[in-house]
């Protein structure tokens, strides 16, 4: 019986002028909090994506000016050549580790090219190194 009495008092209060104002203020505050969380709050995935975009790509580079190699970060949309972290000139181009000698070499845009150190051949038309696979022998006649 006591619960019904409280409910009746709340109903009567809501139907008065100050009660209506209190309800409106509570509803507006709840909606404002919901909008603030939806617009301003970022999920963990969104925060991770923003951190990756800010950091950029981790790339191997070869500087044509100072002949140094290494790893650096580059913005996703920044084209090569990039600024070399060693000499400061915009001569650093994309590079990769040679399958033959394990040295970092400049990535070429040619369909066929060789490593300048070990002469390992790369044929980009095949999408794989052209070196013979280990353990394979020529077929017997």
Tokens 């709050």 belong to which residue?
Answer: 41
- Residue 36's pLDDT is 80
Q: What burial class does residue 67 get, using C-beta atoms within 10 Å of its C-beta: 0-12 exposed, 13-18 middle, 19+ buried?
A: exposed
- Residue 41's pLDDT is 67
pLDDT tens for the chain, residues 1 to 141 = 566 788 888 888 888 888 889 889 999 999 988 888 777 767 788 888 888 888 888 899 999 999 999 999 888 888 889 999 999 999 999 999 998 899 999 888 888 889 999 999 888 787 655 555 555 554 454
Please say whether the beta carbons of 106 and 122 come within 8 A: no
């Amino acid at each position: 019986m006591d619960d019904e009495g409280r409910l009746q008092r709340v109903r009567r209060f809501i139907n008065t002028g100050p009660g209506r104002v209190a309800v409106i203020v509570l509803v507006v505050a709840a909606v404002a909090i919901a909008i603030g969380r939806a617009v301003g709050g970022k999920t963990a995935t969104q925060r991770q994506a923003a951190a990756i975009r800010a950091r950029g790509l981790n790339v191997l580079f070869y500087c044509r000016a100072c002949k140094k190699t290494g790893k650096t970060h580059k913005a996703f949309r920044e084209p090569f050549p990039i600024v070399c972290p060693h000499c400061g000139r915009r001569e650093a181009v994309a590079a990769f580790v040679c399958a033959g000698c394990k040295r970092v070499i400049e990535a070429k845009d040619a369909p066929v090219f060789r490593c300048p150190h070990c002469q390992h051949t790369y044929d980009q038309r095949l999408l794989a190194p052209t070196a013979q696979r280990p353990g394979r022998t020529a077929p017997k006649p």
